[in-house]
């Protein structure tokens, strides 16, 4: 069976867009955010006992995927069918359910990109234990731009939920650069175990500015077609079945910003200096030394 691709990245790192683009390749299937490796058993998605703090919105991706794959459409009725399909598998592990989904879409390559998976080394280890032969793409975005985008999510609520807090002498400041550093470090530690042939670091900015060149490189790495027809298909992530709001009982499963506007527009993202004051810090602080060092290792410039 074709090995899947796991895109490992923080939220707001072009994950929805790039996964949507790769999922439009004729030999691939772009999945919504399944979050399957955040649970030991599938029932944890519903019982509220998962470390991931599962709410109903985190289940929308798996519901939409099952509806689309097994019923051929996403409606309130097919999502209800998906609920029954998943209930019948409540005692199975998330990896077993993921494997069944991969088998259902074979021979297409599964493209999986749930940002929740990178929030814990435990989840990453689950993925690698189940799929040691899979492909792993480490997708990054400039720490200032990613952090600025994260701070617009629920007014910084996401950064707070992952404990991205800078404790200074007299106050605690929500600062997403801490999660950027620590999460990327978790990803890098996992990738140390992965054979070179199976891993690739991609800067999201490179895909935005040179989509045809970057996507062709990714396709060759994955062993997929890199002809112009396949590349042009990937320039249209809006054609994905998961690139729009779903039925009322499974609305999301992807970044809401992407669902509102899934059309890809090539552009050269502005990258602020790594030593510039951060837009979310009122004290004029810059990126911490360890964050700057990691960003330089990723190819971002001072």
Architecture of the 5-263+275-297 domain? 3-Layer(aba) Sandwich (3.40)
Q: Do 164 and 175 contact (CB within 8 A), yes or no? A: yes
Cross-strand pairs, 136? 6, 199
Q: Read off the pLDDT of residues 160-183 as tens digits, 9 standing for 90 and up.
A: 777 778 887 778 888 999 999 999
Q: Read off the pLDDT of residues 226-248 as tens digits, 9 standing for 90 and up.
A: 999 999 999 999 999 999 999 99
In whole angstroms, give the CA distance from residue 21 to residue 130: 25
| 205 Ramachandran zone, left/alpha/beta (phi>0; psi -120 to 50) | alpha
Q: CA dist 58 to 31, 38, 218, Å? A: 14, 11, 28
> Is the model's pTM score more than 0.85?
yes
What count of other Cβ atoms lies within 10 Å of the Cβ of residue 227?
A: 10
Cross-strand pairs, 111? 5, 30
Angle between helices 177-191 and 121-130 (to 10 degrees): 30
Q: Do 64 and 50 contact (CB within 8 A), yes or no? A: no
Domain ranges of the chain: 5-263+275-297
pLDDT of residue 291 exceeding 60, the answer is yes
Q: Where in 106-243 does DSSP place strands (E)?
A: 109-112, 135-140, 165-167, 172-174, 199-203
pLDDT of residue 49 exceeding 90, the answer is no
Residue 46 binned pLDDT confidence (cut-offs 50, 70, 90):
confident
Model pLDDT, residue 3: 97
Residue 287 binned pLDDT confidence (cut-offs 50, 70, 90):
very high
Task: Give the side-chain half-sphere CA count within 13 A for 51.
Answer: 14
């Amino acid at each position: 069976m074709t090995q899947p691709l796991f895109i490992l990245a923080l939220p707001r790192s072009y994950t929805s867009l790039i996964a949507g683009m790769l999922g439009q390749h004729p030999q691939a299937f772009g999945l919504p955010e399944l979050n399957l490796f955040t649970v030991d058993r599938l029932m944890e998605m519903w019982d509220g006992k998962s470390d991931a703090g599962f709410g109903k919105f985190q289940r929308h991706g798996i519901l939409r995927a099952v509806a689309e794959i097994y019923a051929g459409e996403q409606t309130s009725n097919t999502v209800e069918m998906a609920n029954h399909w998943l209930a019948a598998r409540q005692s199975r592990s998330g990896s077993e359910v993921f494997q069944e989904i991969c088998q259902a879409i074979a021979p297409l390559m599964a493209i999986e990109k749930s940002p929740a998976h990178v929030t814990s080394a435990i989840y990453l280890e689950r993925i690698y234990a189940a799929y040691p032969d899979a492909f792993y793409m480490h997708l990054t975005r400039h720490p200032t731009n990613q952090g600025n985008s994260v701070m617009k999510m629920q007014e910084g609520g996401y950064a707070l939920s992952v404990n991205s807090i800078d404790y200074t002498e007299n106050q605690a400041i929500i600062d997403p650069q801490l999660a950027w550093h620590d999460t990327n470090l978790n990803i890098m530690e996992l990738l140390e175990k992965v054979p070179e042939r199976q891993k690739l670091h991609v800067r999201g900015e490179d895909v935005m500015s040179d989509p045809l060149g970057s996507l062709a490189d990714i396709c060759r790495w994955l062993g997929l077609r890199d002809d112009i027809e396949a590349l042009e298909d990937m320039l249209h992530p809006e054609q994905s079945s998961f690139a729009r709001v779903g039925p009322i009982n499974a609305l999301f499963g992807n970044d809401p910003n992407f669902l509102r506007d899934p059309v890809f527009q090539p552009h050269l993202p502005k990258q602020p200096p790594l030593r510039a004051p951060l837009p979310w810090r009122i004290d004029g602080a810059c990126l911490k030394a360890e964050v700057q060092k990691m960003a330089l290792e990723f190819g971002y410039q001072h």
